[in-house]
């Protein structure tokens, strides 16, 4: 689960202008939900479930305006916890490993990716800002970007290219883009480093819009993202309630152990959060506040169905962006 909580989408954006776009997944169609192209990978990573910042595609799905994308109560706890017997906690509905639903469909209004690759030169026209680079596998400097300082594009064969960006010589994002044999489909595998203890992979699928540009590489043209998923199930999240304490860990390496009374506890495995507090709203609901230096960055509410098989997550980034996603308990 995007651990922004169950691993839900928050992996979106961290590397702006890298020509990376993460999918607009898990977005709720409400007036409060606004699309932020530049926050993709952070979304997935930040949501524990919806990881890649919600809403965008990762690095070179140029959809997110070129951002590298491309991120897992309220006063009842103490009394409720005290009233519950050890038997209740021994059989907590939250206990188990939860996997978010995939694939997630892309937002209908998401910006299309537009690229050109001809005569060994790659151009991202939909990125913000647009850029042009030799597709020769060499690192080229990028100025005035706090997230990365070098970019690399390489032609692998007639159907495939790779892309990456680096910071201080270390890869922070890499992508493999492959066009289908019929030229109408595109699959991109994005690997994001540094947002969590372990790298995670996002897979995006797109369809061609219009005719392919004449004389160009198969990946060139205009592409509309269809859906995305996490092929390695990196957002799987394990929850365990023991006494008055909730423990969380996920495959990305994020974890915490916090009392269910709203007091702060350390959050490990990601530079995005330094602490967390959780509260028991009722026997089916927990509210989680993810913080950095005491400031609340994300509010997540987890609700488990009475049969204990499905969990619903609602993510609030405190800036009006709401994301929602369901997950299911693994056997």
Closest CA to 254 of 235, 240, 241: 235
Query: In angstroms, rounded to a whole number, what is the distance separating the alpha carbons of residues 123 and 97?
Result: 42
- pLDDT at position 4, please? 47
Contact yes or no for 248/239 (Cβ under 8 A): yes
Query: In angstroms, rounded to a whole number, what is the distance separating the alpha carbons of residues 107 and 304?
Result: 26
Query: In angstroms, rounded to a whole number, what is the distance separating the alpha carbons of residues 7 and 269?
Result: 13
Query: In angstroms, rounded to a whole number, what is the distance separating the alpha carbons of residues 145 and 150?
Result: 10
- pLDDT at position 109, please? 85
- pLDDT at position 102, please? 92
Cα 208 to chain centroid distance, Å, stands at 24
- pLDDT at position 16, please? 39
- CA dihedral 70→38→139→112, nearest 10 degrees, is 80
Query: In angstroms, rounded to a whole number, what is the distance separating the alpha carbons of residues 234 and 217?
Result: 32
Query: In angstroms, rounded to a whole number, what is the distance separating the alpha carbons of residues 59 and 39?
Result: 10
- pLDDT at position 247, please? 97
Residues 6+ apart with CB under 8 A from 246: 94, 239, 240, 257, 258, 259, 260, 278, 286
Query: In angstroms, rounded to a whole number, what is the distance separating the alpha carbons of residues 208 and 186?
Result: 8
Judged on CB neighbours under 10 Å (0-12, 13-18, 19+), 184 is middle
Closest CA to 204 of 216, 182, 219, 193: 219
Q: Which residues of the chain have pLDDT under 70?
A: 1-91
| pTM exceeds 0.85 for this model | no
- pLDDT at position 46, please? 54
């Amino acid at each position: 689960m995007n651990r922004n909580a169950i691993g839900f989408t928050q992996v979106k954006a961290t590397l702006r202008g890298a020509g990376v776009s993460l999918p607009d997944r898990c977005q709720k169609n409400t007036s409060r939900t606004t699309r932020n192209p530049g926050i993709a990978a952070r979304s997935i990573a930040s949501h524990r479930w919806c990881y890649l910042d919600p809403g965008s595609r990762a690095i070179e799905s140029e959809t997110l305006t070129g951002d590298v994308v491309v991120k897992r109560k309220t006063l009842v706890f103490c009394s409720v916890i005290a009233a519950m017997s050890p038997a209740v906690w021994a059989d907590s509905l939250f206990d188990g490993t939860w996997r978010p639903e995939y694939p997630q469909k892309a937002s209908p209004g998401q910006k299309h990716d537009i690229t050109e690759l001809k005569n060994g030169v790659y151009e991202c026209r939909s990125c913000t800002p647009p850029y042009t680079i030799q597709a020769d596998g060499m690192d080229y400097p990028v100025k005035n970007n706090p997230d990365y300082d070098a970019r690399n594009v390489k032609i692998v064969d007639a159907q495939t290219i790779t892309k990456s960006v680096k910071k201080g010589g270390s890869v922070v994002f890499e992508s493999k883009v492959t066009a289908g044999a019929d030229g109408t489909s595109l699959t991109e595998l994005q690997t994001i480093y540094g947002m969590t203890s372990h790298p995670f992979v996002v897979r995006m699928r797109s369809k061609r819009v219009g005719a392919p540009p004449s004389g160009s590489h198969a990946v060139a043209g205009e592409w509309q993202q269809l859906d995305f998923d996490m092929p390695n199930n990196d957002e799987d999240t394990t929850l365990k309630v023991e006494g008055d304490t909730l423990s969380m860990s996920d495959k990305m390496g994020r974890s915490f152990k916090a009392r269910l009374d709203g007091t702060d506890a350390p959050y490990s495995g990601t530079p995005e959060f330094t602490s967390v507090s959780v509260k028991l709203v009722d026997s089916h609901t927990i509210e989680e506040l993810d913080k950095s230096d005491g400031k609340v960055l994300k509010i997540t509410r987890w609700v488990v169905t009475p049969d204990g098989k499905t969990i619903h997550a609602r993510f609030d980034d405190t800036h009006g962006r709401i994301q929602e996603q369901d997950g299911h308990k693994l056997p």
